Structure 1
Amino acid sequence: MAKVGRMKLGSQGLEVSQQGLGCMGMSAVYGPPKPEPDMVALIQHAVQSGVTFLDTADVYGPHTNEILIGKMGELKKLVEEGKIKYIGLSEASASTIRRAHAVHPITAVQIEWSLWTRDVEEEVIPTCRELGIGIVAYSPLGRGFFSSGSKLLDNLSQDDFRKALPRFQPENLESNKTIFERVNEMAAKKGCTPSQLALAWLHHQGNDVCPIPGTTKIENLNDNIGALSVKLTPQEMTELESFAAADVVKGGRYPDNLIPTWKNSDTPLLSSWKAV
């Protein structure tokens, strides 16, 4: 098993793993909550493997995901080590990032970034790098698409959030499955899995990037960690990007008006705020 590398996320010196673990799917969104003993075992295995960045939020469940994370006792350690004292943003636009950073240094910005979601490279990523802010890439496997392609939908429960996403609708999936096929072909040539190849592409973006692939299975976690050993040449990076170019990917990230993103949820100007 590859050793999980370490990085300094942002100019504030907060150390985290080169690759984290997204915990959302353990309790919410991707079908019903998973068995608690299995998830506790997965989290403990991740920590023992060197993963020190566990991504959670109070809306996952809601509320149950953070309780689950707390049962391994790692939050207590983070408090004792004085590491829970930094500020991060999620789905923030470049202008919001700048405004927030001017008030208090921002350590990390969490944003969706993967082979088939690259619009953040236009403004958000350059802004983070200009300001020395770390980048936490969520859904780095395209919500599981780069693990198994269109077959992913065969095993989703009826209440899985992904069934409503435009890219997984039949009219778009028929075209998008070609993207996975090409990634899978390159992965086979390099002797790795397609998910490892997709993660490796993100790792090669720079040491300020920390992908947080989510999983509910130990074998998938081990596979994801293995991505740290996959090396890509500049030519391979370019070829991978061509597989999922903007004009190739069919369907948006979310249905219209379902969830605000960095593109349509900018912080209102201060002049528009009313005094309480």
Structure 2
Amino acid sequence: MNYVQAADDYLMYLEVEKNYSVNTLKSYAFDLKLYGEFLLTNNRSLDLNDFTSSSVRRFVKDQVINHQIKPRTLQRRISCLKSFSQYCLKENYMKMNFTEGIQAPKADKKLPKYMSLQELKKLFSYLENDSRPQGIRNELMFKLLATTGMRRQELVDLTWEQLDFSSQTIKILGKGKKERLLPLHPTVLPLFLKYQGTLKESQIYYSEPIFYNARNQQLNPRGLHKIFKQVLERAGLPSHRFSLHHLRHTFATLLLQNDKNKVDLRTLQELLGHKSLVTTGMYTHIDFEQKKKAI
């Protein structure tokens, strides 16, 4: 079986049967393309039965030495090849697992960066006093991110039908198109109504996207990132220090720091839409802070 055809079949399998997100599919397609290009550049066969673990190790070495790829990215690329290999074995495209014995390098475990409550209040204060035409949209977007912990892709994908004002909830379509229901903060609800007043009637139809850019097109993640950096600068906060994902970290951190209403990691896992509790475990540094206070 030819590698290119097998890779195409594998990506189709991930999209149709495994229901992987668009971003994950793009990442896997890129990783598979890189490995194929590496094989061609080094005059290696593209026949799956000729694949060996030695070629994978050389690919990993090339990624580290010649391209300075970081461990976390390398982990994903190796994981992609391992998953692809398992798929090919299951489909009888080849006889041997060419990733057997390959181990991904360990990535440094870093504590998540987040805004302090004072920094978040400073951001909110600017948003509430921004009189520019897009001010109400920006206030709604960033308060929504900070009070729900949703991902930036989940925010730009929002449509009006995902909102339920009567129950004050919002339905999020997360990774793998998995749904989760989140409560809306009371301060966000009137912002939605105020924001609707700035849109055309056709733009608030139930299947229409909620957020638009200055050209009245659906906002994309890159555009949202650019707007956030501009807002940080205007609010007097260091734009180089924070990214949109840090608002997600801020949401999780401030929840766990709340002494009045204790939130456990399992609840936080459901709110953030993490597949594994291990991922949510990155926020256990907050437990350490609580212990520090107690001592």
Name the structure with the higher helix share: 2
Specify which structure has the bigger relative contact order, considering alpha-carbon pairs within 8 angstroms and separated by 6 or more residues.
Answer: 1
Question: TM-score if structure 1 supplies the norm length?
Answer: 0.30
Higher Cα Rg: structure 1 or 2? 2
Going by fraction, where is strand more abundant, 1 or 2?
1
TM-score, length basis structure 2? 0.29
